Amino acid sequence: MPGTIVALSTPPGVSGIAVIRISGDDAFTIVDKVFSGKTKLSPAQSHTIHYGTIYDNETPVDTVLASVFHSPNSYTSEDTVEISCHGGYAITGEIIRVLIANGAVAAEAGEFTKRAFLNGKLDLTQAEAVADIIHSESTAGALTAVRQLLGGFKRRLSELRSQLADIAALLELELDFADEDIEITNKSLIIKKIMEAETYCRLLSESYHSAEVLRNGYYIGLAGYPNSGKSTLFNSLLGKIRAIVSPKPGTTRDYIEDSLIIGGIVVRLIDTAGIRNSEDEIEVEGIKLAHSALKQCNMILIVNDCYSDIRQSDMLLMNIKDINPDTKVILLQNKIDKFEGTFESIVPDEIYISAKTGLGLDLLKEQIKTEAESSSVRINDVLVNQRQARLLGNAADLLHTAGDALNQGVENELVSLDIRNAVDSLGEISGERFSEEVLNNIFGRFCIGK
């Protein structure tokens, strides 16, 4: 591996501790040039910690703890030193400068994890899990990623690939005996196995959407006629004042987003402009924006001012359901604290609330929790991302073709080719096969120092 790399591995900022990581063939040599402790680090045992001072020539730069990791027992599998120094901007920058002056090079984004992958410490599903853990705002997402890091997905992929490779080999073997008209394989059993594998790949591929909910959050849009109390609801759900509330219709022109965590899942609330025919140019833009924002949502809450007219939003509800057929839409009868008539629920899933007094909000939150959880079902502890979903879909398609072909008596040779291509597609997921471009895409999204 060319070069010994160095980077700050903790966030920049004021803190008690910061950790600077240095990895590569010369890690010990370089640190030993600037570190003065009881002993040198090169001969020190792996997984031991040494107190000492970093010097820039004669000038003491900081007192630090240096953790020693001998190859291959480190994150990257290379010789590694982790320097735990004082936090803050000045000292960390100075130590990195001194290490670079002594032969280290600044690490690129994700370069430590890329080296870990290239050295066989992690497969790509695990490397991608690392990125998901770090970027996760929700506990549910992070914990699923941790299970993926622990190798759940890696093992299942590897089992599936070897099963499929066995089937392909069997089909090819039969081919060798084709002249002798011997049928070695139990065709229907093989078709069944191919179909099972297809279903598994398809399900996982489709779990990409629920993985996105875990990764980026469950989006809820608030819609309704002006002055129905959307912004008040927005603030009540967040438990703080975020949207500007005013009695003047059309106050929310742009849309506002904020998030809260319900049941370990990040729920993102989007407060849109009131929907109506407006002649105000800026407001028309806001309403257009509202419609396009709602399209991205997992759930839409239509807020109706029941005090003014309990059925005034029914048409709006129909329209929004029409435009967003796959989205859960709930009608909220707001301002119930002022309402004095008799209730007659004609719309399913109607909830009576008062955004102002908080009445009915617990029920609403419970419903949001149920919906968010069912939208983020975790299949087998895998947090499928776009790249993996594409490759899984591709494998499923190939297996589907193979199953059909075998059923229709197509030659084993062609069937086996499709299966082997599916195996290759799955191999790209774990990185048994990879291109530099794929690696750059994956690791470029990491932060520096990981």
Residue 339 CA from chain centroid, whole number: 43
383 is a site residue for a second copy (CB under 8 A):
no
Contacts of 237 (CB under 8 A, 6+ apart): 260, 269, 361, 364, 365
What angle do helix axes 89-101 and 27-34 make, rounded to 10 degrees?
Answer: 120
d(C-alpha 101, C-alpha 83), whole Å: 16
Nearer to a second copy, 130 or 384 (CB): 130
Residue 114 CA from chain centroid, whole number: 18
Give the footprint of a second copy on residues 288-327 (CB under 8 A): none
10 is a site residue for a second copy (CB under 8 A):
yes
127 is a site residue for a second copy (CB under 8 A):
no
When binding is defined by CB under 8 A, the residue of 88, 103, 250, 393 that contacts a second copy is 88
Strand partners, 378: none
Contacts of 264 (CB under 8 A, 6+ apart): 138, 139, 140
In the bound complex, what is the minimum distance in angstroms from residue 449's beta carbon to a second copy?
4
When binding is defined by CB under 8 A, the residue of 22, 61, 405, 419 that contacts a second copy is 61
Q: Which residue in this structure is represented by tokens 């895409």?
A: 441
When binding is defined by CB under 8 A, the residue of 112, 153, 208, 255 that contacts a second copy is 112
What angle do helix axes 412-430 and 124-135 make, rounded to 10 degrees?
Answer: 40
Q: Do the beta carbons of residue 336 and residue 229 sit within 8 Å?
A: no
The letter for the amino acid at 266 is V
Binding-residue total with a second copy (CB under 8 A) = 55
Nearer to a second copy, 63 or 199 (CB): 63
377 is a site residue for a second copy (CB under 8 A):
no
When binding is defined by CB under 8 A, the residue of 42, 63, 162, 296 that contacts a second copy is 63
Give the footprint of a second copy on residues 13-32 (CB under 8 A): 13-19, 21
177 is a site residue for a second copy (CB under 8 A):
no
Nearer to a second copy, 13 or 120 (CB): 13
When binding is defined by CB under 8 A, the residue of 133, 195, 238, 379 that contacts a second copy is 133
Q: Do the beta carbons of residue 223 and residue 294 sit within 8 Å?
A: yes
Of 177, 233, 243, 248, the C-alpha closest to 352 is: 233
d(C-alpha 82, C-alpha 100), whole Å: 15
Nearer to a second copy, 1 or 109 (CB): 109
Binding range to a second copy, per CB under 8 A, among 80-88, 159-167, 270-278, 353-361: 80-88
Nearer to a second copy, 34 or 293 (CB): 34
* Six-digit token string for 64: 């630090």
Q: What is the biggest distance separating any 2 CA atoms in the chain, rounded to whole angstroms?
A: 88
Binding range to a second copy, per CB under 8 A, among 59-67, 285-293, 355-363, 409-417: 59-67
Indicate the SS3 state at residue 32.
helix
In the bound complex, what is the minimum distance in angstroms from residue 117's beta carbon to a second copy?
14
Q: Which residue in this structure is represented by tokens 């770090």?
A: 134
150 is a site residue for a second copy (CB under 8 A):
yes
Contacts of 285 (CB under 8 A, 6+ apart): 253
Q: Rounded to the nearest 5°, which phi and psi values hold at 295? A: -60, -25
156 is a site residue for a second copy (CB under 8 A):
no
Q: Do the beta carbons of residue 219 and residue 210 sit within 8 Å?
A: no
37 is a site residue for a second copy (CB under 8 A):
no
121 is a site residue for a second copy (CB under 8 A):
no
d(C-alpha 381, C-alpha 361), whole Å: 32
In the bound complex, what is the minimum distance in angstroms from residue 149's beta carbon to a second copy?
6
Nearer to a second copy, 18 or 331 (CB): 18
User: In what helix (H) or strand (E) does residue 21 lie, and over which residues does it extend?
Assistant: strand 17-23
When binding is defined by CB under 8 A, the residue of 76, 125, 138, 334 that contacts a second copy is 138
100 is a site residue for a second copy (CB under 8 A):
no
When binding is defined by CB under 8 A, the residue of 48, 370, 374, 386 that contacts a second copy is 48
Nearer to a second copy, 67 or 227 (CB): 67
Any idea what DSSP says for residue 253?
A: -
When binding is defined by CB under 8 A, the residue of 2, 57, 58, 59 that contacts a second copy is 59
Residues that bind a second copy (CB under 8 A): 9-19, 21, 47-50, 53, 59-63, 65, 67, 69, 82, 84, 86-91, 93-94, 112, 130, 133-139, 141-143, 146-147, 149-150, 446-447, 449-450
